[in-house]
Structure 1
Amino acid sequence: MTIGLFFATLAAAMIYILTPGPAFLALFALSASRGRGAGALFVAGHLVGDILWGTLALAAIVGVNQLGPMLFEALGLFCGLYLIWLGIRAVLSRQAAGMAVVGANHPLSAGLVFGLTNPKAYPVSVAMFTVLVGHYSGLLTWDMAPLVMAVAFVGFILADLILVAIAGLDLVRRFFLRHGLIVTRVVGVTFVLFGAKSIGDAVASYRARA
């Protein structure tokens, strides 16, 4: 594994966790009402889903890479469009997402169920890894996949620690309860930017081959 691939994988895993989305909003809503301990239990359960969807995302990227660059470019284009669609929906939202406290009495099991059943987790994880690891697609093989996933796991843990620490701050808890709609719309802008980058990379790769 090259240094570039190592840091790209680490960054992709951390950004996948840190980029606001349904789990991000649920964590902040839970932490706002129950405190940092409940939030930590929630992300501990959710980590199981992160590992599952992250593994499937990397497997898809490696598999597409083995079949040729055109399919990898198509994957980047599709994921970019999907992220932009999610982003536009969030920007145009009239109410804050995730404000309802999810599983307040059982945060660990709630996080586990949330992580395993979130329908957006797989395409978003594919999109994030495609955007940041796509430049190293030529290095990705099935033999290297376990090592890449181990690096991604470290990224998941680091990002979860950062989120729990921030979500438990009194100032952040008060801000989220008062301005949840603003947070939701910032989520949308972030997704649109990542989607645009994914599409741009796919188009640039196709033009380079053409």
Structure 2
Amino acid sequence: MLTPEQFIGFLAAAMLITASPGPDNLMVLGVGISRGRAQGMAFGLGCALGCLSHTVLAVAGVSALIAASPFAFTLLKTGGGLYLVWLGIQALRSRGGAKAAAIRPADESLFRLFTRGVFANAINPKVVLFFLSFLPQFVIAEHGNVNWQIAALGLTFTAQAAVLFGLLGFFSGAVGQWINGRPRAGIVLDRIAGAIFVGLGIRLIVAR
């Protein structure tokens, strides 16, 4: 089980990262603006549930590394930390410009939009790499049950993404207008996410 501090710290970081402008949430907004609230919510929930496939990979990969070699796990954590620092620097250098563009309307059922969201997230190699970099730093190996800790973290990330993406889909029209009318809003969110990434990456590198 996750400790309260472990859970709260992870949830706060996950929510800030999920809320930052990125391909997934901008696509959810685009679908909602073009096709309606229900369609935006369906696509957003699909994107969120696509994270479950990355959770399974993280559980299998990280647990296997810990069992095989603590040194290999240290290399994974160091490499993951460097990757997070790189993502943070990119976000800090970003000039914003995120736009919630309307997506061309199409006659698709809610289920089809949902499956599109799942597929779009599940096959994204950047999300796989992010999960392998992000989740391990919140694992406390000394508490044991590492695979269950990673699974709980992945499920937590999926749940908060489902809530936030669902809200984005529901309020897509208003949120889209707010983002498009305030270019600096995206810059501020990028700076916040960038600082989080850099901080988490450094913590992951120096942790023992």
TM-score relative to the length of structure 2? 0.73
Paired position in structure 2 for 1:137: 141
| SS of residue matched to 1:77 | helix
Query: What code does the residue aligned with 2:164 have?
Result: I
Query: What code does the residue aligned with 1:7 have?
Result: F
Describe the shift of the 1:128–1:14 C-alpha distance in structure 2 as closer, same or farther (beyond 3 A): same
Paired position in structure 1 for 2:40: 39
Query: What code does the residue aligned with 1:108 have?
Result: F
Query: What code does the residue aligned with 2:141 have?
Result: S
- 1:72: how far off? 2.8
Map residues 58-207 of structure 1 onto 2, 5 A cutoff.
58-94=59-95, 96-97=97-98, 99-101=100-102, 105=106, 106=108, 107-133=113-139, 136-141=140-145, 145=147, 149=151, 152-153=154-155, 155-169=157-171, 170-179=173-182, 182-183=185-186, 186-187=189-190, 189-205=192-208
- 1:151: how far off? 6.5
Judge conservation of contact 2:34–2:103 (CA < 8 Å) in 1.
no
Judge conservation of contact 1:74–1:202 (CA < 8 Å) in 2.
no
Describe the shift of the 1:7–1:204 C-alpha distance in structure 2 as closer, same or farther (beyond 3 A): closer
Q: Percent identity?
A: 23
**Count of paired positions:** 201
CA distance in 1 between counterparts of 2:13 and 2:55 reads: 8
- 1:54: how far off? 1.5
Judge conservation of contact 2:6–2:138 (CA < 8 Å) in 1.
no
Describe the shift of the 1:32–1:140 C-alpha distance in structure 2 as closer, same or farther (beyond 3 A): farther
TM-score relative to the length of structure 1? 0.72
| SS of residue matched to 1:120 | helix
Paired position in structure 2 for 1:7: 7
Judge conservation of contact 1:29–1:177 (CA < 8 Å) in 2.
no
Q: Deviations over 1:25-46 (max 9, x none)?
A: 3223333443431221112322
Judge conservation of contact 2:45–2:166 (CA < 8 Å) in 1.
no
Where structure 1 has 5 or more consecutive residues not aligned to the other structure, the ranges are 206-210
- 1:184: how far off? 5.8
Judge conservation of contact 2:82–2:205 (CA < 8 Å) in 1.
no
Describe the shift of the 1:137–1:16 C-alpha distance in structure 2 as closer, same or farther (beyond 3 A): farther
Greater alpha carbon shift after TM alignment, 158-167 vs 43-52: 158-167
Judge conservation of contact 2:91–2:193 (CA < 8 Å) in 1.
no
